[in-house]
Amino acid sequence: MEMSMGSADMNAWILSERQDFVDGVSSILREHGVDAVWLGPETRSLTGLKGLLIVDGEAAHASGLHPGAEEPGADRGLEILTLRKPEASAIALAAEYTRTCAALRQELDGYKSTRLAIGAVVRALNRPLSDADAIPTALGELMERFRCRRLLMLSAEEGRRGLSVFYQRNLSDRFLADVAAHGGLAVMDRVFAEILCVVDVIERDILLRLDPAAGDWSRLLDLGGGEGSDFLLFTLKSNRRPVGMVIMGYDHESSWSSQEKESLSLLGMQLGLALENLQLFSRVQAARREWEATVDSMRDMVFFANPEGIIQRANAALAEYAGLPLTDVVGRRCSDVMSCGQRFEACPYRRGALMEGMAGFEMQGGDNRSYRILITPYRMGADQAAGTVHLASDITEEKQRLLLEEDKRQLLELDSLKNRFMASVSHELKTPLNAVIGFSEILLAGTYGAVNEKQQRYLENIHTSGKHLLALISDILDYMRLEADELSLQTEELDMDELVGSTLELMRQEADRGGVRLTLHRDALPCRVTADRRRVRQVLFNLLSNALKFTPEGGSVEVRAYREGDRVVVEVEDTGVGIAPQDQGKLFNEFTQVGEGARRGGGAGLGLALSRRLVELHGGSIRVESEPGRGSTFSFTLPVYHAVDARKRGRS
């Protein structure tokens, strides 16, 4: 019977002392492409032999070897055929059987190796997700089992465009830089998107057949191996969705069995699932760190308590409030940390939050500060509450601010009542005062007959005092109107030279009585403004009255009005007692008198304050320059040709 045995890929041994037996068996084996080795008389052991052993049945015992005493086993790998003479058919069948057993044994060894490789990788991947070395360890096992020299793992994370390097082994920095600089990742993106999404495992030759253009950039895929190198690619999948790929580089041309490729396909699913889980875990951890950083940066206290009232998570603010490390706060009862005076099980606010969805209350903390507590349930499902989230905000400053605002409101109300009272009283006083002044003027004029000298002096005192009191009351009323934003200006275009001159003439008699020289200096340029005549005259009266009042006999008061840019400046300079520097800042305050004015008494301390407010109401300014014993200069400015909406300016 003729049988074809294929190429010579097995060993054959002949155990015999007969030359004719050895020659006959060797001849038959050669016809089937197998070379045999003769074991001579000196052979004492069969240990280590694999393949087919043909034993001479007549001479076996004479050699001292007894192969029949050992049963051929799969692990031994030696098949034994005993013949008394060379038989072609028996030898052919034995050779084919041996070849088949060897192939099956090789396949079984490959299967065992694959199982070992898969087991080693899976054991590495079964580490906790927090173990950053799990995937690198698994890839190291993969390199060892598949004897590759270099390895590159690329990931295609969901939500991100293209591949990114996840892990590499034995790749030079120069090669990685070259890949990045010459679009290497784009090339690998193409392989991943167009080929590996269809084929799980692919080697160089098959890749080049599928895509001839790949030859131009296949050097990138051999990971810098150089001439004669090789590579193998396989896909990483999770739930049948490609999530990355692995490139294994070899320094020499290699081949892989179908079992090895199948195992890589299985490992690709394991690695892909592990990669996606790791990416998800990383995103969760990043979100958790971001949440913790956000919550820890809050000044409010935040913590989560389970249904038994045990604090599961908390932020740094709560630890600071409790005066404990954060690790000691977690695990304690809520009622032991907070100073709310409620047992957690019986807390009505917690029950209210679980029933209503939210509850809140205020408490006084152990640090004597006030806190607002908000409680909301934390639910795992539609109905089941896994615990409660507590937010405690320090409202001490807020409560103090509210108290201050209430005090301010009450003070403003009292101030308004005071103003209304003073305005009402002032109005009530003006009517009888006007009568007193009017009748005193009639009597002084002799309308009802002449009066003697003593009566004349008394009437003049009555008239002067009445006018003074009326001026005080008018100042108070003006001040009240200014405070209530009710003082309006009746503006018109004024010639300041004429207004200042006429005012001086009205004050001339008073200056003469005091022995004070009163002079006016006019500017060559016209000094015209838009202003309220009565209010500007009121300011001039106040300044002139003060100058005459505090200038001794023989002194002088000079008034100047001149243009300075887009302003008209009016100055009142006296040679009086002067004002100390420390008092000058108080001059324009309401109800304030300083220096000589405070010592002499008289007046309400409103004249200069009202002058400042009236000048500012016109859009101008007022100031003082003074030196004790040398006199003072008061000056104010008004805009040239400046139309003023008095009510709007007053309220601004």
- pLDDT exceeds 60 at position 69: no
pLDDT at 603: 59
| Of the candidate ranges 158-167, 174-183, 252-261, the one whose mean pLDDT is the lowest | 174-183
Residue 608 counted as domain residue: yes
- In this prediction, residue 34 has a pLDDT band, given cuts at 50, 70 and 90, of confident
Does 263 score more than 50 pLDDT?
yes
Same domain, yes or no: 271 and 315: no
Please give the Cα distance from 225 to 206 (Å, whole number). Answer: 19
Between 573 and 591, the higher pLDDT residue: 573
Check residue 341 and give its pLDDT. Answer: 61
Given pLDDT bands bounded at 50, 70 and 90, which one contains residue 335? Answer: confident
**pLDDT reading at 571 higher than 90:** yes
d(CA 46, CA 66): 10
Tokens for 333, please give them.
Answer: 């009862």
633 part of a folded domain: yes
- Residue at 116 is within a domain: no
Highest mean pLDDT among 62-76, 123-137, 292-306, 418-432: 292-306
Q: What pLDDT, on a 0 to 100 scale, did the predictor assign at position 62?
A: 46
Structure confidence by residue, pLDDT tens digits, 230-245: 888 898 888 888 888 8
- Which band of pLDDT confidence, cut at 50, 70 and 90, is reported for residue 569? very high
How far CA 402 is from CA of 300, 407, 478, in Å, comes to: 20, 9, 33
What confidence tier does 49 reach under pLDDT thresholds 50, 70, 90? Answer: confident
Q: What is the mean pLDDT of residues 130-153?
A: 86
User: Which tokens go with 283?
Assistant: 């995103």
Give the model confidence (pLDDT) of 346-368 as tens digits. Answer: 677 777 777 777 887 888 877 77
Please report where in the chains the tokens 């004597």 appear, as a residue: 368
Q: Is residue 6 part of a domain?
A: no
Q: In the numeric block, which tokens belong to residue 412?
A: 């403003």
Confidence band, pLDDT 50/70/90 cuts, at residue 553: very high
- What amino acid is encoded at 196 in this protein? L
Residue 591 is assigned to a structural domain of this protein: yes
Max avg pLDDT among 38-47, 97-106, 298-307, 610-619: 610-619
Read off the CATH number of the domain in which 199 is found.
Answer: 3.30.450.40
Residue 219 clears pLDDT 70, i.e. is over it: no
281 pLDDT above the threshold of 80:
yes
Domain-ending residue, one of 340, 363, 397? 397
Q: Rounded to an integer, what distance in angstroms lies between the CA atom of residue 593 and that of residue 604?
A: 8
Q: What is the 3-state secondary structure (H, E, C) of 94-144?
A: HHHHHHHHHHHHHHHHHHHHHHHHHHHHHHHHCCCCCCCCHHHHHHHHHHH
Q: Where would I find the beta strands (DSSP E) of 507-620?
A: 517-522, 528-532, 556-564, 567-574
Residue 141 has pLDDT above 60, yes or no: yes
Structure tokens belonging to residue 79: 């098949």
Helix, strand, or coil (residue 174)? helix
Confidence of residue 647 (pLDDT cuts 50, 70, 90): very low
Give the confidence band of 396 by pLDDT, cuts at 50, 70, 90: confident
Helix (H, G, I), strand (E, B) or coil at 551: coil
For residue 217, pLDDT over 70 is answered with: no
SS3 state of residue 403: helix
| Rounded-to-integer distance, Cα 337 and Cα 556, Å | 80
Q: What average pLDDT does range 415-438 have in this prediction?
A: 77
Could you give the CA distance from residue 377 to residue 399 in angstroms, rounded to a whole number?
Answer: 27
Same domain, 594 and 493: yes
Q: Are residues 525 and 445 in the same domain?
A: no
Question: Do residues 528 and 610 both lie within one domain?
Answer: yes
End-to-end distance of the chain based on CA atoms, in angstroms? Answer: 124
What pLDDT band is residue 41 in, cutting at 50, 70 and 90? low
226, 253, 286 - which closes a domain: 286
Q: Are residues 153 and 253 located together in one domain of the fold?
A: yes
Q: pLDDT tens digit string along 448-496?
A: 888 888 888 888 888 878 877 877 777 777 777 777 777 888 888 999 8
Residues 495 and 635 in one domain: yes
Q: Work out the pLDDT band at 551, boundaries 50, 70, 90.
A: very high
Count Cα atoms within 13 angstroms, Cβ side, for 501.
Answer: 9
List, in order, residues 6 or more apart from 559 with CB less than 8 Å away: 500, 504, 518, 519, 520, 521, 544, 570, 571, 572, 573
Q: Is the pLDDT of residue 102 over 80?
A: no
* Whether the predicted pLDDT of 119 surpasses 80: no
Amino acid in the structure at residue 182: H
Residue 147: C-alpha distances to residues 112, 204, 273, 571 (Å): 16, 17, 24, 104
Q: Average pLDDT of 426-448?
A: 81
Taking 3-state DSSP, the helix, strand and coil percentages for the chain, each rounded to the nearest 5, stand at 50, 20, 30
The candidate with the shortest Cα–Cα distance to 61, out of 96, 15, 19, 102, is 15
Cβ atoms of 265 and 201 within 8 Å: the answer is yes
Q: What is the CATH number of the domain that holds 550?
A: 3.30.565.10
Confidence of residue 213 (pLDDT cuts 50, 70, 90): low
Q: Which CA distances in Å does 180 have to 157, 175, 186, 193, 223?
A: 18, 9, 9, 18, 13
pLDDT score at 67? 52
In this structure, the answer to whether residues 365 and 442 fall within a common structural domain is: no
Q: Is the dihedral of CA 200, 205, 211, 215 positive or negative?
A: positive
Do 174 and 263 have their domain in common?
A: yes
Q: Output the pLDDT for position 27.
A: 86
Q: Encoding tokens for residue 245?
A: 């790929």
- Per-residue pLDDT band for 212 (boundaries 50, 70, 90) equals low
Lowest mean pLDDT among 133-142, 155-164, 406-415: 155-164
522 φ/ψ angles, rounded to the nearest 5 degrees: -100, 150
3-state SS record for 181-206? HCCHHHHHHHHHHHHHCCCCEEEHHH
456 with 497, same domain: the answer is: no
432 vs 499, residue with greater confidence: 499
Q: CATH number, domain at 344?
A: 3.30.450.20
Judge whether 122 lies within some domain: no
Residues 6 or more apart whose Cβ sits within 8 Å of residue 395: 362, 370, 371, 372
Strands 230-238 and 385-394: unpaired
Q: Which of these three, 341, 370, 397, is where a domain ends?
A: 397
Query: Is 462 in the same domain as 385?
Result: no
Q: Is 331 in the same domain as 438?
A: no
State yes or no: pLDDT of 72 exceeds 50: no
pLDDT at 589: 84
- Is residue 414 in a domain? yes
Full domain range(s) for residue 439: 400-470
Query: pLDDT, tens digit, for every residue of 153-172?
Result: 988 876 667 788 888 988 88
- Any idea what DSSP says for residue 346? G
Q: Are residues 166 and 280 in the same domain?
A: yes
Note whether residue 648 is domain-resident.
no
Point out the least confidently predicted range of 85-99, 175-189, 298-312, 556-570. Answer: 175-189
- What mean pLDDT is reported for the chain? 80
As a whole number of angstroms, the distance between CA 120 and CA 139 comes to 10
Q: 25 or 651: whose pLDDT is higher? A: 25
How many domains does the chain divide into? 4
| Distance between CA atoms of residues 334 and 344, nearest Å | 7
DSSP string, 292-322: HHHHHT-SSEEEEE-TT-BEEEE-HHHHHHH
Residue at token pair 């409660």:
388
- pTM for the predicted model, two decimal places: 0.47
Chain segment 188-206, per-residue pLDDT in tens: 777 777 777 777 888 877 7
259 vs 454, more confident:
454
- Of these ranges, 107-121, 179-193, 600-614, the one predicted with the greatest mean pLDDT is 600-614
